[in-house]
């Protein structure tokens, strides 16, 4: 039995599903403001945009910053289906995201609980509170199915 996911993580999964339908790696993200409202959401678009920085987290952070008119997303939380890479962890830190919730860990490219552990580095100026494993089974299943279909 799967537990009911918080609405922002459900939104992130919908974005991941849409990314997969476009042929992108199924990763989705949602930014939530201090009131709990989803203010931005996105899925991977690296292939579509021919842009290696068009990760779900980056796109959602950009949308939220534009909506709020600030490069600082203090008081905002980020929900993402996969552990952020080093680039996305850097953006999360620079945006001053309050809390990071993610689904599956990423042993190869993750930089929060794997790899370089970006937020644990002494050079990291801001580290969000991190909560992992939110929808982990669903996220892993989605990724496995996506890559299995391509092999």
Residue 134, judged by CB atoms within 10 A of its CB (0-12, 13-18, 19+), counts as: buried
Q: What does the alpha-carbon distance between residue 107 and residue 27 come to, in Å, rounded to a whole number?
A: 15
Residue tagged active-site, from 57, 66, 107, 136: 57
Q: State yes or no: is 71 an active-site residue.
A: no
Q: What does the alpha-carbon distance between residue 126 and residue 75 come to, in Å, rounded to a whole number?
A: 13
Residues known to be catalytic:
57
């Amino acid at each position: 039995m799967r537990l009911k996911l918080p609405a922002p993580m459900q939104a992130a999964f919908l974005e991941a599903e849409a990314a997969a339908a476009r042929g992108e790696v199924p990763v989705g993200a949602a930014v939530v403001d201090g009131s709990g409202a989803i203010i931005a959401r996105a899925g991977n678009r690296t292939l579509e945009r021919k842009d290696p920085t068009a990760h779900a987290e980056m796109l959602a952070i950009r949308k939220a910053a534009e909506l709020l008119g600030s490069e600082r997303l203090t008081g905002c939380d980020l929900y993402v289906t996969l552990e952020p890479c080093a680039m996305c962890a850097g953006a999360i830190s620079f945006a001053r995201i309050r809390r990071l919730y993610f689904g599956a860990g990423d042993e190869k490219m993750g930089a929060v609980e794997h790899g370089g552990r970006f937020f644990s580095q002494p050079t990291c100026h801001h580290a969000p509170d991190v909560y992992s494993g939110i929808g982990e089974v669903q996220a892993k299943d989605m990724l496995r199915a996506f890559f299995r279909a391509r092999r």
